[in-house]
Protein backbone atom coordinates (compact mmCIF):
# COMPACT_ATOMS: atom_id res chain seq x y z
CA UNK A 1 0.00 0.00 0.00
CA UNK A 2 1.43 3.36 -1.08
CA UNK A 3 1.06 6.09 1.53
CA UNK A 4 -0.87 9.23 0.64
CA UNK A 5 1.16 11.56 -1.56
CA UNK A 6 1.17 15.27 -2.26
CA UNK A 7 0.14 16.28 -5.75
CA UNK A 8 3.75 16.98 -6.70
CA UNK A 9 5.03 13.70 -5.26
CA UNK A 10 2.30 11.83 -7.14
CA UNK A 11 2.99 13.55 -10.47
CA UNK A 12 6.74 13.00 -10.23
CA UNK A 13 6.34 9.35 -9.25
CA UNK A 14 3.83 8.82 -12.05
CA UNK A 15 6.00 10.32 -14.78
CA UNK A 16 8.91 8.17 -13.57
CA UNK A 17 6.77 5.03 -13.68
CA UNK A 18 6.90 4.54 -9.92
CA UNK A 19 4.15 3.43 -7.54
CA UNK A 20 1.46 5.99 -6.69
CA UNK A 21 -1.38 6.18 -4.18
CA UNK A 22 -3.75 6.85 -7.08
CA UNK A 23 -3.38 7.87 -10.71
CA UNK A 24 -2.28 11.48 -11.12
CA UNK A 25 -4.53 14.04 -12.77
CA UNK A 26 -1.69 16.53 -13.27
CA UNK A 27 -2.70 18.08 -16.57
CA UNK A 28 0.00 19.60 -18.76
CA UNK A 29 -2.50 20.78 -21.36
CA UNK A 30 -4.74 23.78 -20.83
CA UNK A 31 -7.82 22.86 -18.79
CA UNK A 32 -9.12 26.35 -18.05
CA UNK A 33 -12.73 26.96 -19.01
CA UNK A 34 -14.77 30.12 -19.51
CA UNK A 35 -16.53 29.37 -16.24
CA UNK A 36 -13.19 29.17 -14.42
CA UNK A 37 -11.93 32.38 -16.00
CA UNK A 38 -15.06 34.18 -14.91
CA UNK A 39 -14.70 32.85 -11.37
CA UNK A 40 -11.17 34.22 -10.98
CA UNK A 41 -11.73 37.39 -13.01
CA UNK A 42 -9.33 36.42 -15.80
CA UNK A 43 -9.67 37.76 -19.32
CA UNK A 44 -7.74 37.57 -22.59
CA UNK A 45 -5.40 39.03 -23.68
CA UNK A 46 -4.49 40.30 -20.18
CA UNK A 47 -3.99 36.76 -18.87
CA UNK A 48 -1.06 36.45 -21.29
CA UNK A 49 0.65 39.54 -19.87
CA UNK A 50 -0.33 39.84 -16.19
CA UNK A 51 1.56 37.36 -13.97
CA UNK A 52 -0.99 37.41 -11.14
CA UNK A 53 -3.88 36.83 -13.52
CA UNK A 54 -1.91 34.11 -15.29
CA UNK A 55 -1.27 32.39 -11.96
CA UNK A 56 -4.90 32.71 -10.83
CA UNK A 57 -6.13 31.30 -14.12
CA UNK A 58 -3.67 28.41 -14.02
CA UNK A 59 -4.73 27.56 -10.45
CA UNK A 60 -8.46 27.55 -11.24
CA UNK A 61 -8.66 23.84 -12.29
CA UNK A 62 -7.10 22.93 -8.93
CA UNK A 63 -9.20 25.31 -6.88
CA UNK A 64 -12.50 24.39 -8.54
CA UNK A 65 -11.97 20.74 -9.51
CA UNK A 66 -9.02 19.38 -7.54
CA UNK A 67 -6.76 18.70 -10.53
CA UNK A 68 -3.29 17.61 -9.34
CA UNK A 69 -1.29 19.84 -11.65
CA UNK A 70 -1.56 22.72 -14.04
CA UNK A 71 0.19 24.42 -16.92
CA UNK A 72 0.98 27.88 -18.24
CA UNK A 73 1.24 29.88 -20.45
CA UNK A 74 -1.94 29.36 -22.46
CA UNK A 75 -0.65 29.63 -26.03
CA UNK A 76 2.19 28.07 -28.03
CA UNK A 77 3.56 31.23 -29.66
CA UNK A 78 5.54 32.72 -26.77
CA UNK A 79 8.91 31.31 -27.80
CA UNK A 80 8.55 32.34 -31.43
CA UNK A 81 7.54 35.84 -30.36
CA UNK A 82 10.68 36.14 -28.21
CA UNK A 83 12.76 35.01 -31.18
CA UNK A 84 11.33 37.63 -33.51
CA UNK A 85 8.10 36.30 -35.01
CA UNK A 86 5.15 38.68 -35.12
CA UNK A 87 1.89 37.44 -33.59
CA UNK A 88 -1.65 38.20 -34.67
CA UNK A 89 -3.21 39.51 -31.45
CA UNK A 90 -6.63 39.80 -33.04
CA UNK A 91 -7.04 36.22 -31.79
CA UNK A 92 -6.64 37.14 -28.16
CA UNK A 93 -6.81 33.65 -26.62
CA UNK A 94 -4.31 31.79 -28.81
CA UNK A 95 -2.44 34.33 -30.97
CA UNK A 96 -1.04 32.65 -34.11
CA UNK A 97 2.10 33.61 -36.01
CA UNK A 98 1.47 36.56 -38.31
CA UNK A 99 4.95 37.16 -39.73
CA UNK A 100 7.65 34.47 -40.02
CA UNK A 101 10.96 36.22 -39.47
CA UNK A 102 13.53 33.64 -40.64
CA UNK A 103 14.45 33.62 -44.32
CA UNK A 104 17.93 32.08 -44.00
CA UNK A 105 18.86 29.99 -40.93
CA UNK A 106 22.52 31.01 -41.31
CA UNK A 107 21.54 34.61 -40.54
CA UNK A 108 19.36 33.72 -37.55
CA UNK A 109 20.75 34.45 -34.07
CA UNK A 110 19.43 33.76 -30.58
CA UNK A 111 19.05 36.88 -28.42
CA UNK A 112 20.85 37.22 -25.11
CA UNK A 113 19.30 37.71 -21.66
CA UNK A 114 16.12 35.86 -22.63
CA UNK A 115 14.84 36.05 -19.04
CA UNK A 116 14.13 39.72 -19.77
CA UNK A 117 12.46 39.30 -23.15
CA UNK A 118 8.84 39.17 -24.27
CA UNK A 119 6.46 37.35 -21.98
CA UNK A 120 9.12 35.17 -20.38
CA UNK A 121 9.28 37.39 -17.24
CA UNK A 122 5.49 37.06 -16.92
CA UNK A 123 5.66 33.26 -16.99
CA UNK A 124 8.53 33.14 -14.50
CA UNK A 125 6.75 35.46 -12.09
CA UNK A 126 3.52 33.45 -12.39
CA UNK A 127 5.44 30.27 -11.54
CA UNK A 128 6.92 32.01 -8.50
CA UNK A 129 3.43 33.03 -7.35
CA UNK A 130 2.04 29.51 -7.76
CA UNK A 131 4.94 27.79 -6.04
CA UNK A 132 4.86 30.22 -3.12
CA UNK A 133 1.10 29.79 -2.66
CA UNK A 134 0.62 26.07 -3.23
CA UNK A 135 3.97 24.39 -2.67
CA UNK A 136 3.65 20.61 -3.04
CA UNK A 137 -0.16 20.73 -3.26
CA UNK A 138 -0.12 21.68 -6.94
CA UNK A 139 2.30 20.23 -9.48
CA UNK A 140 3.54 22.77 -12.03
CA UNK A 141 3.91 21.54 -15.62
CA UNK A 142 4.65 24.65 -17.69
CA UNK A 143 4.22 24.36 -21.43
CA UNK A 144 7.38 24.68 -23.48
CA UNK A 145 7.41 24.36 -27.26
CA UNK A 146 9.94 21.99 -28.83
CA UNK A 147 12.63 23.18 -31.28
CA UNK A 148 11.20 21.63 -34.46
CA UNK A 149 7.80 23.26 -33.97
CA UNK A 150 9.40 26.63 -33.12
CA UNK A 151 11.47 26.32 -36.31
CA UNK A 152 8.22 26.00 -38.26
CA UNK A 153 6.90 29.08 -36.49
CA UNK A 154 10.00 31.05 -37.41
CA UNK A 155 10.40 30.04 -41.06
CA UNK A 156 6.84 28.81 -41.77
CA UNK A 157 6.00 25.13 -41.85
CA UNK A 158 5.69 25.12 -45.64
CA UNK A 159 9.17 26.59 -46.10
CA UNK A 160 10.70 24.21 -43.59
CA UNK A 161 9.26 21.18 -45.34
CA UNK A 162 10.58 22.50 -48.65
CA UNK A 163 14.02 22.65 -47.02
CA UNK A 164 13.65 19.08 -45.78
CA UNK A 165 13.30 18.01 -49.40
CA UNK A 166 15.74 20.42 -51.05
CA UNK A 167 18.26 21.62 -48.45
CA UNK A 168 18.04 19.63 -45.19
CA UNK A 169 21.10 21.33 -43.71
CA UNK A 170 19.02 24.48 -43.34
CA UNK A 171 16.58 22.61 -41.12
CA UNK A 172 19.38 21.14 -39.01
CA UNK A 173 20.98 24.58 -38.63
CA UNK A 174 17.75 26.26 -37.56
CA UNK A 175 16.66 23.49 -35.19
CA UNK A 176 20.12 23.34 -33.57
CA UNK A 177 20.12 27.08 -32.88
CA UNK A 178 16.61 27.00 -31.47
CA UNK A 179 17.49 24.03 -29.26
CA UNK A 180 20.09 26.21 -27.54
CA UNK A 181 17.33 28.71 -26.76
CA UNK A 182 14.85 26.06 -25.60
CA UNK A 183 17.38 24.58 -23.19
CA UNK A 184 18.08 28.00 -21.68
CA UNK A 185 14.36 28.74 -21.36
CA UNK A 186 13.61 25.38 -19.77
CA UNK A 187 16.36 25.91 -17.23
CA UNK A 188 14.71 29.18 -16.26
CA UNK A 189 11.37 27.41 -15.84
CA UNK A 190 12.84 24.79 -13.54
CA UNK A 191 14.69 27.45 -11.55
CA UNK A 192 11.34 29.15 -10.93
CA UNK A 193 9.53 26.08 -9.65
CA UNK A 194 8.56 23.88 -12.60
CA UNK A 195 8.17 20.30 -11.39
CA UNK A 196 7.80 18.70 -14.81
CA UNK A 197 8.36 20.28 -18.22
CA UNK A 198 5.49 19.70 -20.64
CA UNK A 199 7.18 19.91 -24.04
CA UNK A 200 4.79 20.14 -26.97
CA UNK A 201 5.74 19.44 -30.57
CA UNK A 202 2.65 19.51 -32.82
CA UNK A 203 4.59 20.01 -36.06
CA UNK A 204 6.39 16.68 -35.57
CA UNK A 205 3.14 14.74 -35.84
CA UNK A 206 3.01 11.56 -37.86
CA UNK A 207 0.43 13.34 -39.97
CA UNK A 208 3.31 15.43 -41.31
CA UNK A 209 6.48 13.36 -40.81
CA UNK A 210 7.49 9.78 -41.40
CA UNK A 211 9.29 7.88 -38.68
CA UNK A 212 12.59 8.25 -40.53
CA UNK A 213 12.11 11.98 -40.92
CA UNK A 214 11.36 12.26 -37.21
CA UNK A 215 14.54 10.39 -36.38
CA UNK A 216 16.63 12.71 -38.53
CA UNK A 217 15.12 16.15 -37.98
CA UNK A 218 13.46 15.99 -34.55
CA UNK A 219 14.84 13.28 -32.30
CA UNK A 220 18.36 14.74 -31.85
CA UNK A 221 16.94 18.00 -30.52
CA UNK A 222 14.64 16.16 -28.08
CA UNK A 223 17.55 14.09 -26.77
CA UNK A 224 19.73 17.16 -26.34
CA UNK A 225 16.93 19.17 -24.79
CA UNK A 226 16.23 16.51 -22.17
CA UNK A 227 19.91 15.80 -21.42
CA UNK A 228 21.01 19.42 -21.12
CA UNK A 229 17.96 20.64 -19.21
CA UNK A 230 18.09 17.77 -16.73
CA UNK A 231 14.43 18.12 -15.73
CA UNK A 232 11.62 15.52 -15.82
CA UNK A 233 9.89 15.96 -19.17
CA UNK A 234 6.63 14.88 -20.78
CA UNK A 235 6.66 15.15 -24.57
CA UNK A 236 3.34 15.85 -26.31
CA UNK A 237 2.68 15.32 -30.02
CA UNK A 238 -0.69 15.62 -31.73
CA UNK A 239 -2.20 13.32 -34.33
CA UNK A 240 -1.03 9.88 -35.37
CA UNK A 241 2.24 9.26 -33.55
CA UNK A 242 2.52 5.52 -34.13
CA UNK A 243 5.56 6.00 -36.46
CA UNK A 244 7.32 7.98 -33.71
CA UNK A 245 6.82 5.68 -30.72
CA UNK A 246 9.98 3.62 -31.20
CA UNK A 247 12.03 6.82 -31.37
CA UNK A 248 10.30 8.43 -28.39
CA UNK A 249 11.09 5.29 -26.40
CA UNK A 250 14.81 6.14 -26.69
CA UNK A 251 14.53 9.93 -26.58
CA UNK A 252 15.30 10.30 -22.88
CA UNK A 253 11.97 11.88 -21.92
CA UNK A 254 10.15 10.39 -18.95
CA UNK A 255 6.63 10.62 -20.35
CA UNK A 256 4.76 10.83 -23.64
CA UNK A 257 1.39 12.53 -24.16
CA UNK A 258 -0.63 11.49 -27.19
CA UNK A 259 -4.15 11.92 -28.53
CA UNK A 260 -6.97 9.59 -29.48
CA UNK A 261 -5.34 8.56 -32.74
CA UNK A 262 -3.16 6.19 -30.69
CA UNK A 263 -4.85 3.78 -28.23
CA UNK A 264 -3.29 3.68 -24.77
CA UNK A 265 -2.74 -0.08 -24.89
CA UNK A 266 -0.84 0.27 -28.19
CA UNK A 267 1.36 3.07 -26.90
CA UNK A 268 2.15 1.09 -23.76
CA UNK A 269 3.43 -1.78 -25.88
CA UNK A 270 5.79 0.50 -27.84
CA UNK A 271 7.04 3.06 -25.32
CA UNK A 272 9.17 0.77 -23.18
CA UNK A 273 10.06 2.57 -19.96
CA UNK A 274 8.52 5.88 -21.06
CA UNK A 275 5.38 6.67 -19.06
CA UNK A 276 2.06 7.16 -20.84
CA UNK A 277 -0.01 10.34 -20.47
CA UNK A 278 -3.47 10.91 -21.85
CA UNK A 279 -5.50 10.49 -23.91
CA UNK A 280 -9.05 11.59 -23.16
CA UNK A 281 -11.05 12.95 -26.07
CA UNK A 282 -11.53 16.73 -26.19
CA UNK A 283 -13.76 16.89 -29.27
CA UNK A 284 -16.88 15.24 -27.87
CA UNK A 285 -16.17 13.73 -24.46
CA UNK A 286 -15.11 16.72 -22.37
CA UNK A 287 -17.38 19.42 -23.85
CA UNK A 288 -20.45 17.31 -24.69
CA UNK A 289 -20.31 14.14 -22.61
CA UNK A 290 -21.95 13.63 -19.24
CA UNK A 291 -19.92 13.46 -16.02
CA UNK A 292 -20.50 9.71 -16.02
CA UNK A 293 -19.15 9.49 -19.58
CA UNK A 294 -15.98 11.30 -18.51
CA UNK A 295 -15.64 9.18 -15.38
CA UNK A 296 -15.97 5.94 -17.38
CA UNK A 297 -13.53 7.05 -20.08
CA UNK A 298 -10.97 8.08 -17.44
CA UNK A 299 -11.33 4.75 -15.66
CA UNK A 300 -10.77 2.98 -18.98
CA UNK A 301 -7.48 4.73 -19.84
CA UNK A 302 -6.32 3.95 -16.29
CA UNK A 303 -7.09 0.26 -16.83
CA UNK A 304 -5.11 0.42 -20.07
CA UNK A 305 -2.12 1.74 -18.14
CA UNK A 306 -1.77 5.52 -18.29
CA UNK A 307 0.61 6.78 -15.65
CA UNK A 308 -0.95 10.24 -15.72
CA UNK A 309 -4.54 10.62 -16.90
CA UNK A 310 -5.04 13.70 -18.99
CA UNK A 311 -6.69 15.25 -21.99
CA UNK A 312 -5.58 14.49 -25.54
CA UNK A 313 -5.24 18.21 -26.26
CA UNK A 314 -6.37 21.46 -24.67
CA UNK A 315 -9.79 21.09 -23.07
CA UNK A 316 -12.41 23.27 -24.82
CA UNK A 317 -13.33 26.39 -22.88
CA UNK A 318 -17.01 25.36 -22.98
CA UNK A 319 -16.37 22.18 -20.99
CA UNK A 320 -18.68 21.95 -17.94
CA UNK A 321 -16.96 22.11 -14.56
CA UNK A 322 -18.77 18.91 -13.58
CA UNK A 323 -16.95 16.98 -16.33
CA UNK A 324 -13.52 18.01 -15.06
CA UNK A 325 -14.58 17.14 -11.52
CA UNK A 326 -15.66 13.70 -12.77
CA UNK A 327 -12.25 13.26 -14.39
CA UNK A 328 -10.50 13.97 -11.08
CA UNK A 329 -12.93 11.72 -9.18
CA UNK A 330 -12.15 8.81 -11.49
CA UNK A 331 -8.40 9.33 -11.02
CA UNK A 332 -8.84 9.13 -7.25
CA UNK A 333 -11.29 6.23 -7.17
CA UNK A 334 -10.12 3.89 -9.95
CA UNK A 335 -7.71 1.25 -8.61
CA UNK A 336 -4.20 1.50 -10.04
CA UNK A 337 -3.66 -1.67 -12.10
CA UNK A 338 -0.51 -3.72 -11.71
CA UNK A 339 1.97 -3.94 -14.57
CA UNK A 340 0.86 -7.52 -15.13
CA UNK A 341 -2.78 -6.47 -15.35
CA UNK A 342 -1.90 -3.74 -17.86
CA UNK A 343 0.04 -6.18 -20.03
CA UNK A 344 -2.74 -8.76 -19.97
CA UNK A 345 -5.46 -6.21 -20.74
CA UNK A 346 -3.33 -4.81 -23.55
CA UNK A 347 -3.05 -8.25 -25.11
CA UNK A 348 -6.83 -8.65 -24.97
CA UNK A 349 -7.41 -5.29 -26.63
CA UNK A 350 -4.75 -5.99 -29.28
CA UNK A 351 -6.42 -9.27 -30.15
CA UNK A 352 -9.80 -7.57 -30.31
CA UNK A 353 -8.42 -4.86 -32.62
CA UNK A 354 -6.83 -7.49 -34.88
CA UNK A 355 -10.10 -9.40 -35.11
CA UNK A 356 -12.02 -6.27 -36.03
CA UNK A 357 -9.61 -5.56 -38.91
CA UNK A 358 -10.24 -8.93 -40.54
The rounded distance, in Å, linking the Cα atoms of 198 and 234 is: 5
Structural domains in the chain plus CATH codes: 7-357 (3.20.20.210)
> How crowded is residue 88: how many other Cβ atoms within 10 Å of its Cβ?
12
Has residue 358 got a pLDDT over 80?
Answer: no
Query: pLDDT band at 88, cuts 50/70/90?
Result: very high
Edge-to-edge order in the sheet of strand 255-258: 143-145, 197-200, 233-236, 255-258, 275-280, 308-311
Decide: 214 and 158 in contact? Cβ < 8 Å: no
Residue 4 confidence (pLDDT) above 70: yes
68 class by beta-carbon count within 10 Å (0-12 exposed, 13-18 middle, 19+ buried): buried
| pLDDT tens figures, 266-307 | 999 999 999 999 999 999 999 999 999 999 999 999 999 999
Residue 2: predicted pLDDT: 80
Between CA 307 and CA 341 the distance in angstroms is 14
Q: Is the pLDDT of residue 258 over 90?
A: yes
Helices and strands, counts by H and E, the chain:
17, 10
Query: Is the pLDDT assigned to residue 135 strictly greater than 90?
Result: yes
What mean pLDDT is reported for the chain? 96
| Mean pLDDT in residue range 17-45 | 96
Phi, psi of 237 (to 5 degrees): -135, 135
pLDDT, residue 189, reads 98
The whole-number pLDDT of residue 104 equals: 95
Q: What pLDDT score does 1 carry?
A: 62
Q: Report the alpha-carbon distance of residue 334 to residue 303 in Å, rounded.
A: 8
Q: What is the arithmetic mean of pLDDT over 142-168?
A: 96
| Sequence-distant (≥ 6) Cβ neighbours of residue 143 within 8 angstroms | 28, 29, 30, 71, 72, 73, 76, 198, 200
Q: Is residue 179 a contact partner of residue 151, using CB atoms and an 8 Å limit?
A: no
Q: How far apart are CA 273 and CA 18, in angstroms?
A: 11
Residue 90 has pLDDT above 90, yes or no: yes
Q: Alpha helices, DSSP H only, in 271-336? A: 285-288, 291-304, 321-333
For 210, residues 6+ apart whose C-beta sits below 8 A from its C-beta are 243
Percent of the chain with pLDDT over 90: 97
216-256 per-position pLDDT tens digit: 999 999 999 999 999 999 999 999 999 999 999 999 999 99
Number of neighbours of residue 272 by Cβ within 10 angstroms: 11
Q: What is the pLDDT of residue 200?
A: 98
Amino acid sequence: MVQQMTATERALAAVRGQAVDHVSSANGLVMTTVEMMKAVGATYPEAHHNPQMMADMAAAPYEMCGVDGTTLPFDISLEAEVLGAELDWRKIDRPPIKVHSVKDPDDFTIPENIEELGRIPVVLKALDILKDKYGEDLALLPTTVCPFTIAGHMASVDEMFMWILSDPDKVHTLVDKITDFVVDYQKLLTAHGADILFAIDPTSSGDLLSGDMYAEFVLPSIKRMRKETGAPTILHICGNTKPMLEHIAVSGVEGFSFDKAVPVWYAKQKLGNVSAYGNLDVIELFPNGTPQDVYNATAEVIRQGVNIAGSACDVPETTPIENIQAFVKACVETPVPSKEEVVEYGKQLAAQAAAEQK
